[in-house]
Structure 1
């Protein structure tokens, strides 16, 4: 309700030739400029220049529309009901009716005022062009040159080089995430004696070439996008075959795919030949449609929530910007307007979360198998001497009724409810006639919109449903002209069957035995096609072929799936119920004003264009963000400590020249992550000892200047995978389905850990099923992420639970028994020495030997193993 109706604003007024300086400016100065002036611009609106007022704020609509106060957002907001939260000025101090009328007259007369130049704010450091600076002299490695120059400013220097065994363990931990064996240590030291530099370089190349390298660095990327194999939310359903995206990431790092191509694949893999890479866009959590319900407002809200998850993923991982802050208003800290947010969101309007078959080349195994079994199924159908039969597919039943000249189909319940979510009617060329058919029903229900049966949107439980209350109900499908009928396909909750698994048995599919299916011939007469399929002859052989086709052919996978994009509008307060101005697909305008797209640009072209903008060498964010991420996982501190926030709320770089040098090198070396990591681990900075030094601690306690290699606790994966390697039980298989540690649950039940220790789990922890928000009952204690939020940097907590898990969990008990048996020697001292060499890659000191002897007087060797595995020397990267 408006305080001043718009028709009054258009009426004649007693004010004439309103003067801005003497009549309007005082009102603005007293009530508005504090929030909409030079110092602060809430909602991106400034009221101290005409150009700014005409441009308007983040809603994309003019603050003042000369001659039309009723179209001006200034008038809209100052005229709101005093109880409205959006009224301006806020806090219960509305303008008077006279002031509102005066401002409306000023706008009606043209909103004239004296123009003033607005001082431009200094551009955010991360948005400035990357400048490759000269390398300071004095060091062979440019990393060392930049770091050394900073150290000298504080009268500091690098620490001495670490012990070769410490370096070996450090390299293994950082590059592949698994500690070395005694045999690997011996081989390395043998080469080190002859030529330390050559030995070190050879080890670096060996580890970069290892298939385990991709596994370790893929995990860092998966953390940054909070990838998981469940949807989160109330149902937290499993996402079938979403591990295919994980395997794509592993392969990309192992193959050293140029990072720019890695980016483009993940936003437009359906066009670049890497369809599984589109799992990136749907890596975040989402509420499944069945949980959302069927209220149009709820569906629209959930749709934009899903797109917002994608925006957060792109912003945090690729751009280093908190894009989600601009969903409801212009960003409070960074130059991201609400219009920028929706312009970038428009690039993903053709994206939807769900399952689809990836576009695999015809020569790939699954595509070959699918073509093979499709032909066998077609040929077998021709041999059947049946008038009708039922085929059982994974997600639906198909009632085959080959008939000529069919004008209509009638489906009648034989008792009970009628429930479907999607239906197709195929002729004998397998063309679907449902889209053109006339549909009607006698079913009485609030869910009997027959259009849902052919909208292609499966997964809303029962889009067409109703109680029959003992009476039969029918669905009528009429065709414009007679067709050669082949089959009718039925499903209820089809998407859930394809999309998820590990659920307790449910009545997933519509049993055809519940329905009588009739067809009408060209004379208008009705005939029973299928009444009760249980009386039909057996088609077991055909269904066996179908089962093989489903098992070996191209599978439905949880990837980005694609729909027709709609026009994008700025959403006031982030709500689809209050759309504002239309925006075209675009980039972040402060970097590139336009990508020359419109609301008619096809969805794939939008994503590909946006991806190429991100991957452009001139983009100031992309290379900086990635090399900083690589630096953090190598050295333990980021040059920018806030890995996913390069904005004003994040930290500034400790070594800005080094960051820009590295970003330039990254681009010039074809965006190679292996080349960048090779540069890092070859530096003196990486090879340093880890010992603290008093003066250095006083000057730089946080080691931002890298005067030593600061120890840090190893990630959960390094600890677990290394224990399995020590026991000799680590399964080295790369890729494939994740191993399960959880139960089979009901749709809205909870995932429960049932077995996190048995032999089937003895693979790298990367391959453990990621159930969002679920404690794995062991390594969650070591800050293993729950995948609910972006975790570019895992926290480093120290809790009693860590020690308890490393001492008493069934996994540790079993593995320590195996390790103890492996280390067992001819006598106590030999067993102790074997244990230390196996776990620490060194011999025990005399004091350690004495303490170990004391333990073994009352305990078995497995207890000593458990104690040593609980030590800082094992669980810290030294």
Structure 2
């Protein structure tokens, strides 16, 4: 029917009307959000189903819905970038834009495991996604093909290492109330008490053994016996499933926050956190920003990192996203490896075209729809 309507439309603007209608369709945002969710390794769960180690991301849908809205509203891609990496630093949590905190699911919907693996996953996703650089290859040694030294990897590692997930995710939806909600809260408290009754004595015991970690719950959890950690995961899964199935919680954003006092970051020799090398500054990659790129000074440096990526002078950001769009429209990118623009990657088939598209994209407000 749509094809027939288009073929019989005698309006000279028939083509433009068709494009405008498709761009204005709610399904436009759903389609392009799906593509970006692949970049962001979006999932409703973390961990592995094997061995019962899978856990639900109760509020993962908040990030998904934010993506759909952002594409439908044609949010400028530079702003789209900053929100996903540092919305907590630029959004008023009590203001009308608090829903943009949901963008940080890009970072927080990450893999499960030791802290070092989680941070590496977040870095890898960020730099493959926005810069098409495989910086994870510099985790244990200088990158074998790209000019990314291990020291610069750990400079960026220190940015996310000085960011943490708050215990209570901020509410970005409408608060709920009423008898049904009160009954839900009562049941939730009962289930959470089971977790607390198991965990609190274990944490107290660990704090006695490791007094230097007494105020760092996340690190104390890492000191629990393996059997205790597995038991804790099983209990927390029960709570997560109850919350997700009940559907009674107001929307919450899974965010990161900066540590009040950022800790210095050392190089982990051969990737081993037990072997510390030189202290390194938190700063952006010199291969992208130049040798005179300044150290990050604001909190963890996450907002500065986000702005360095979203900077119109960054030679990669615009090229990477227009190449992704080209790939989804035509089946193959101008650079075939859309997440790897490194030295060893396949060269662009039409470099001048890629340069022109990237320049036009920035000049026209970083608009995906345009």
**TM-score tier (shorter):** 0.7 to 0.9
**What is the CA distance between 1:622 and its match in structure 2?**
0.3
Cα gap change, 1:252/1:577 in structure 2, threshold over 3 Å: closer, same or farther? same
Between the aligned partners of 1:652 and 1:493, the Cα distance in structure 2 is 46
Report which of the two structures shows the higher radius of gyration computed on alpha carbons.
Answer: 1
Look up the match of 1:663. Answer: 358
Whether the 8 Å contact between 1:449 and 1:464 is mirrored in structure 2 is: no
Trace 1:276-287 onto structure 2 (pairs within 5 A). 276-287=102-113
**What is the CA distance between 1:303 and its match in structure 2?**
1.1
Cα gap change, 1:498/1:281 in structure 2, threshold over 3 Å: closer, same or farther? farther
Whether the 8 Å contact between 1:284 and 1:310 is mirrored in structure 2 is: yes
Between the aligned partners of 1:615 and 1:461, the Cα distance in structure 2 is 35
Trace 1:353-372 onto structure 2 (pairs within 5 A). 356-358=168-170, 360=172, 365-366=174-175, 369=176
**What is the CA distance between 1:642 and its match in structure 2?**
0.9
Look up the match of 1:265. Answer: 83
Between the aligned partners of 1:662 and 1:213, the Cα distance in structure 2 is 21
Whether the 8 Å contact between 2:207 and 2:214 is mirrored in structure 1 is: no
CA offsets, 1:73-116, max 9 Å, x none? xxxxxxxxxxxxxxxxxxxxxxxxxxxxxxxxxxxxxxxxxxxx
Work out which structure has the larger RCO, using CA pairs closer than 8 Å and 6 or more positions apart in sequence.
2
Does 2:351 correspond to 1:653? no
Look up the match of 2:37. Answer: 222
Trace 1:239-318 onto structure 2 (pairs within 5 A). 239-273=57-91, 274-287=100-113, 302-318=114-130
2:278 match: secondary structure: strand
Between the aligned partners of 1:573 and 1:242, the Cα distance in structure 2 is 34
Whether the 8 Å contact between 1:355 and 1:558 is mirrored in structure 2 is: no
Between the aligned partners of 1:276 and 1:674, the Cα distance in structure 2 is 22
Look up the match of 2:95. Answer: none
Look up the match of 1:566. Answer: 263
Give 1:345's match in structure 2, choosing from 154, 157, 173.
157
Whether the 8 Å contact between 2:88 and 2:256 is mirrored in structure 1 is: no
Cα gap change, 1:562/1:349 in structure 2, threshold over 3 Å: closer, same or farther? same
Whether the 8 Å contact between 1:225 and 1:280 is mirrored in structure 2 is: yes
Cα gap change, 1:222/1:185 in structure 2, threshold over 3 Å: closer, same or farther? same
1:500 match: secondary structure: helix
CA offsets, 1:405-427, max 9 Å, x none? xxxxxxxxxxxxx953248xxxx
**What is the CA distance between 1:254 and its match in structure 2?**
0.6
**What is the CA distance between 1:551 and its match in structure 2?**
2.9
Runs (4+) of structure 1 moved beyond 6 Å? 445-448, 450-454, 464-467, 492-495
Trace 1:373-412 onto structure 2 (pairs within 5 A). 393=189, 396-397=192-193
Between the aligned partners of 2:112 and 2:277, the Cα distance in structure 1 is 25
Trace 1:470-619 onto structure 2 (pairs within 5 A). 496=236, 500-501=240-241, 551-553=248-250, 555=252, 558-560=254-256, 563=259, 565-592=262-289, 593-597=291-295, 601-603=298-300, 606-619=301-314
Between the aligned partners of 1:602 and 1:643, the Cα distance in structure 2 is 32
Between the aligned partners of 1:356 and 1:559, the Cα distance in structure 2 is 10
Cα gap change, 1:500/1:560 in structure 2, threshold over 3 Å: closer, same or farther? farther
**What is the CA distance between 1:462 and its match in structure 2?**
10
2:6 match: secondary structure: helix
**What is the CA distance between 1:498 and its match in structure 2?**
8.5
Look up the match of 1:404. Answer: none
Whether the 8 Å contact between 2:77 and 2:366 is mirrored in structure 1 is: yes
Which sections of structure 1, spanning at least 5 residues, go unmatched?
1-181, 288-301, 378-389, 399-417, 424-439, 468-491, 504-546, 676-878
Q: How many corresponding residue pairs?
A: 347
Between the aligned partners of 2:206 and 2:217, the Cα distance in structure 1 is 20
Whether the 8 Å contact between 1:319 and 1:621 is mirrored in structure 2 is: yes
1:673 match: secondary structure: coil
More helix by share: 2
Cα gap change, 1:495/1:201 in structure 2, threshold over 3 Å: closer, same or farther? farther
Alignment RMSD (CA, Å): 3.8
Give the TM-score normalised by structure 2.
0.81
Which sections of structure 2, spanning at least 5 residues, go unmatched?
92-99
Look up the match of 1:719. Answer: none
Cα gap change, 1:585/1:466 in structure 2, threshold over 3 Å: closer, same or farther? closer
Look up the match of 2:97. Answer: none
More strand by share: 1
